[in-house]
Amino acid sequence: MFAPVSPRHGESRKCIEAAEEGERAKNSTEAEQIRKSSQRREHTIANRGKEKMAERETLIRCSLFILVKSRNEKERSRKKENEEGISRKEIREMMSPSASTPSAAFRTKRVAKNLPPLVHDDDRERRLHG
């Protein structure tokens, strides 16, 4: 605190008021610093949340990019097939209906390997037995 200079002109009261204002200012700066530090803390917490969100967004963007990329590659392969003149539809028509899907083709192979033929085939028996 400030010491009063001369009481006859009322300077002591001014000094006391100035000192009080100085203390108030000091307290307000401390309060402001506390406010700023809490804001910084809140800001860092918010930034952490934003960073996590940004990480999630990048993961989502990467996965979407991969999906779009694979889709574009499929479209390119279809365009190449179209340029060659043979479409997928024509290839499917040329294939037997049982082999039109890979799972069905696999199933028919398994059936042919492991089970005897459902329809009696003389030629097949001749080939097998000689």
Query: For residues 40 and 33, is the Cβ–Cβ distance under 8 A?
Result: no
Nearest to 84 by CA among 96, 92, 76: 76
Flag whether pLDDT at 3 surpasses 70: no
Nearest to 90 by CA among 104, 78, 105, 108: 78
Per residue in 66-87, pLDDT (tens digit) is 777 777 787 877 776 666 666 6
Per residue in 47-61, pLDDT (tens digit) is 777 778 878 888 888
Q: Which pair of structure tokens corresponds to residue 59?
A: 């993961």
Q: Counting beta carbons within 10 angstroms of the beta carbon of residue 52, is it exposed (0 to 12), middle (13 to 18) or buried (19 or more)?
A: exposed
Q: What is the mean pLDDT of the segment spanning 11-16?
A: 68
Query: For residues 39 and 33, is the Cβ–Cβ distance under 8 A?
Result: no
Per residue in 79-127, pLDDT (tens digit) is 766 666 666 666 666 666 555 555 555 555 545 555 555 555 666 667 7
| Total residue count of the chain as it appears in this document | 130
- Tell me the C-alpha distance between 56 and 50, whole Å: 10
Q: Which pair of structure tokens corresponds to residue 40?
A: 């910084």
